[in-house]
Structure 1
Amino acid sequence: MKTRRVFLQRASLSAMALTVPVLNPFSVMADQISEYAKDSKTLRVAIMGLGSYGTRVAEAIQSCQRTKLVGVISGTPSKVVAWREKYGIPEKNCYNYENFDAIKDNPDIDAVYVITPNALHKDQVIRVAKAGKHAICEKPMAVNAADGQAMVEACKAAGVHLLIGYRMHFEPNTLEVIRMRKAGEFGDIRFFQGLSGFTIGDPTQWRLDPKLSGGGAMMDIGIYSINGARYMIGEEPIWVTAQEVKTNPEKFKEGIDETITFQLGFPSGVIASCLSTYNMNNLDRFYLNGSKGWAEMQPSTGYGPIKGETNKGPLTEPIVTHQTVQMDEMAAIIFDGKKPEVPVDGEEGVKDMKIIDAIFKAVETGEKVLLNLS
């Protein structure tokens, strides 16, 4: 399995514009879309890493109102040629991993979206920043919190944005649940459950190479439950416990986690119970329980459509192409200073990396690990 998820859906922004309720400030608004269309400031992006997810992002950008694909960075010349022909990319905007520092002299590129194996993110993002370009980095942003923090500091020093590819932070049904929780419609939050997993295929892929991935299922899919627990509950965890199960050590070698269950504790007393695995299918579920109500989302983080219900009925926000909305929202963040409902900046990414570091430590020691995400 080379795609990141098994739930695939494409829908056009035009359909979204017709169905978005204009009174809901947490949804992607029809008038917001028209605002994108009339805004003259377009985010010109080069994609680094032309694999399956890079292709998905490129296709989604074709429906964007404020983002345009203008360049590519790849170590595979044949892919560069194919993308040039398909997307009309000028030859002068095409680079490889050795020479892409030259983007500093290319005024046609505003930002680079880094979609390469996890262990490469740190050095590549820092090089993008030193070239004076905004960096968008796929999650997980790095292989540990220290590397993530170095990326944040490099981008700050260069005066450029660092944004993480948290597409769910712009997904309408997700934002509706967050709105309901903030409005007190669920009462006092008591419990969250996050289940994230699928059965991974090709044993030779980079995700099962610890030198490239920095870990197994936790880095790839478990991060959704970590991040989801934070935005669904609306607090930052203060401790973590975790347990690992490995049934196939030949496939899941040292440094590659197969299945980890983990628990997060929050200041208010809320507990999150989560599972991350590369050995079970049909695991893409969030459940939030409060004193007055509940929300369940399944699928909760797949490519779409995101489905769910609450104690008040089904979630009916518009179906969108996540990456299309994400990229236009990121253009608004970079050019307009827009503040998203849930952050997507580098600091947000570092918080998730601190939790992952703590989960691995809890697995190793068998002890509760305290967290400080401030």
Structure 2
Amino acid sequence: MMDDASRLWTRRRMLEATGGLLTASAWMPPVLAAAPQVKLPDTFAKTERERPGPPNPQPESERVGWAVVGLGHLSLEEILPAFGQMKRGRVVALVSGDRAKAQAIAKQYGVPDKGLYDYKSFDQLKDNPEVQAVYIVLPNSMHAEFTVRAAQAGKHVFCEKPMASTSAECQQMIDACKKADRKLGIAYRLQYEPHHRAVIQMARNKELGTLKLFTANNGQNQGEPNQWRHKKALAGGGALPDVGIYCLSAARYFSGEEPTEVQGFSQSTPNAPRFKEVEESFAFHLRFPSGFQAHCTSHYGAHETKDLRLMGTDGWASMDPGFAYSGLRLRVGMKSKTFPKADDTVERSFSQPSQFAREMDHFSRCVQENTVPHTPGEEGLADVRIIEALYRSAQEGKVVKLEAAKKLDAFRVMAILNERDVQALQHELPALLKVRDERVLNAFAPASQEKASPEAHVPPVTSATQDSAPKTHPCTEERDPGAPTSAPGQNASQTHHCVEEHRFDDLVSTAEQDTAPEDRLVKPNSGQPPPPAAPGCSTCEFRGECTEKSVADAALEDPFDCRSG
């Protein structure tokens, strides 16, 4: 039998070592664990796809209170309606420069008059304890200022993409939230979307073989010349940071790598009023350490296009549309396993709850459980640094090389990909570890295997900071800054040990929760290998004392599924 200290380590250290995203109800705060849960009997045959079941939202009083900052198209058409699908969040405050509009929207969503603020009174949010998190939905150049002000007011910050107009502003935002001990997440909605999550899983499981090429096109024909997206002082750029960032981000999270060479090509129609200050279209090429390449285009002057294709040696996955708010379609093609002389092309369809509800529920959960968001500030900074390099490449007419860093998924916190991976933990830990990134593989490997994992190259996060106070931007016009309408190297079988038998030196402390993701994980004990497991499960030999009530009783849930129970 394990002593109390060893047992304390069991599930808690497993959860913290994986970034806190694999969460058992037994380790949730008592007020959250007490929320009523309802399950209904299945009404469909086993031949039908599994349904999510009742959403089982938390009681209103236990949810994270949100303030939505900016009431443009994105807020009114996507973000505010998404609160109706959320399990963990509720809207309690609105920030707008238009008092009449704010009052009208407040009545629609039950926001009290005391929860209405303008940009001058924004700092008074510090006196409203109902507001725990703010969603920054403002022109790009205003992200840094209001993130800093929100952090100083003691609020957690969820910010629209792109994170900011410059990498210096991004670092300023990260530093401000770290200084205030507040969480910072970037609204990369597609990193939480079921179809994109499925492609990530296929890539990590090597279902498509070795990844070779990624192509993507995203854009639309822009209208009104005087909108903020066409003003460089507000937008920071044109098609590239607004819609091209989705292509850039997808190449990074599908492959798990970071580009080491980039080349960009900017083009605008001469004398077009819309494109006096920002580019009409931007095409770019990315090269990654493994040999993987990405060819992407973004545009403001052609009809709406939102497609992508990820190609590997054994198959491909494509989506069209691939970047929309809804209606995504995923097709997968590879050699038929039944008919060797044929190819199989299948369409995989997942339920499509609001992408905004999923990402906000995840961030709400991070606030409640004190864990690092899957897309933290470092992830947003990585994209902006690459965008700056692409602009430099287009201006200078040459390839720009980026400094290499050390690991896969270096700037995002990898989560359990779906419920099947969670269930695999009961019987075979390697099946779970196989789809985790290098950091988690190392965390669970015996010391003798620590050096087995190769290091992928990624651009590092710089330590540059901006000490000067943020400048107040005179523009308070609200618009929609949103988008248009196992790791390689280590054999997972090498780490097949009962998770409860592992020993690590230290728990992840509360202070470490807000450090960069790559610095956050516990280190494996360099001395003692796990003892052999007693007879039990035929697959992994878990035994009763090992998991206490077993992982099956832990009621694990998909951290990105706003409808999972």
Q: TM (normalized to structure 1)?
A: 0.88
Instruction: Indicate conservation of the 8 Å contact 1:45/1:112, yes or no.
Output: yes
Query: Is it true that 1:316 corresponds to 2:316 in the alignment?
Result: no
Q: Alpha-carbon deviation of 1:252?
A: 3.9
Deviations 1:296-353 (A, max 9, x none): 011111011111201151121212211111211111122224567xx31111000110
Which of 50, 72, 89 is 2:71 aligned to? 50
**After the TM superposition, which of the residue ranges 167-176 and 77-86 deviates more from structure 2?**
77-86
Which of 329, 352, 366 is 2:383 aligned to? 352
For 1:117 and 1:246, how far apart are their aligned partners in 2?
Answer: 22
Q: How many residues align?
A: 347
- Residue identity (%): 34
Residue 62 of structure 1 aligns to a residue in which SS? Answer: helix
Instruction: Indicate conservation of the 8 Å contact 2:220/2:304, yes or no.
Output: yes
Higher Rg: 2
Q: Alpha-carbon deviation of 1:33?
A: 4.2
Instruction: Indicate conservation of the 8 Å contact 1:167/1:326, yes or no.
Output: yes
**Structure 2 counterpart of 1:207:** 229
Structure 1 unaligned segments of length 5 or more: list them. Answer: 1-17, 23-27
For 1:227 and 1:118, how far apart are their aligned partners in 2?
Answer: 17
Q: Alpha-carbon deviation of 1:41?
A: 3.7
Q: Alpha-carbon deviation of 1:29?
A: 8.6
Structure 2 counterparts to residues 247-258 of structure 1, below 5 A: 247-258=269-280
CA change 1:236–1:41 in 2 (3 A) is farther
Which of 308, 313, 316 is 1:286 aligned to? 308
Query: Is it true that 1:154 corresponds to 2:185 in the alignment?
Result: no
For 1:160 and 1:29, how far apart are their aligned partners in 2?
Answer: 36
**Structure 2 counterpart of 1:296:** 318
Which of 237, 245, 263 is 2:259 aligned to? 237
CA change 1:247–1:192 in 2 (3 A) is same
Instruction: Indicate conservation of the 8 Å contact 1:125/1:151, yes or no.
Output: yes
CA change 1:81–1:352 in 2 (3 A) is same
Query: Is it true that 1:178 corresponds to 2:200 in the alignment?
Result: yes
**After the TM superposition, which of the residue ranges 37-46 and 208-217 deviates more from structure 2?**
37-46
For 1:249 and 1:320, how far apart are their aligned partners in 2?
Answer: 42
Q: TM (normalized to structure 2)?
A: 0.59
**After the TM superposition, which of the residue ranges 275-284 and 133-142 deviates more from structure 2?**
275-284
Deviations 1:62-85 (A, max 9, x none): 221111000011111111111221
**After the TM superposition, which of the residue ranges 306-315 and 344-353 deviates more from structure 2?**
306-315
Structure 2 unaligned segments of length 5 or more: list them. Answer: 1-41, 334-344, 404-458, 461-565
Which of 45, 55, 71 is 2:93 aligned to? 71
CA change 1:309–1:338 in 2 (3 A) is farther
Residue 253 of structure 2 aligns to a residue in which SS? Answer: helix
Deviations 1:203-258 (A, max 9, x none): 11111011111111112111100101111222111110011121144324454011
Deviations 1:163-203 (A, max 9, x none): 11111111101111111111110110000011111100111
**Structure 1 counterpart of 2:548:** none
Superposed CA RMSD: 2.1
Higher percent of residues as strand = 1
**Structure 2 counterpart of 1:364:** 395
Which of 253, 263, 268 is 2:290 aligned to? 268
For 2:275 and 2:349, how far apart are their aligned partners in 1?
Answer: 42
**Structure 2 counterpart of 1:191:** 213
CA change 1:29–1:139 in 2 (3 A) is farther
Residue 326 of structure 1 aligns to a residue in which SS? Answer: helix
Which of 247, 252, 271 is 1:225 aligned to? 247
Instruction: Indicate conservation of the 8 Å contact 1:67/1:331, yes or no.
Output: yes
Instruction: Indicate conservation of the 8 Å contact 2:332/2:346, yes or no.
Output: yes
Query: Is it true that 1:331 corresponds to 2:333 in the alignment?
Result: no
Structure 2 counterparts to residues 20-39 of structure 1, below 5 A: 30=52, 33-34=55-56, 36-37=57-58
Which of 120, 134, 137 is 1:98 aligned to? 120
Deviations 1:152-171 (A, max 9, x none): 11101100011111111111
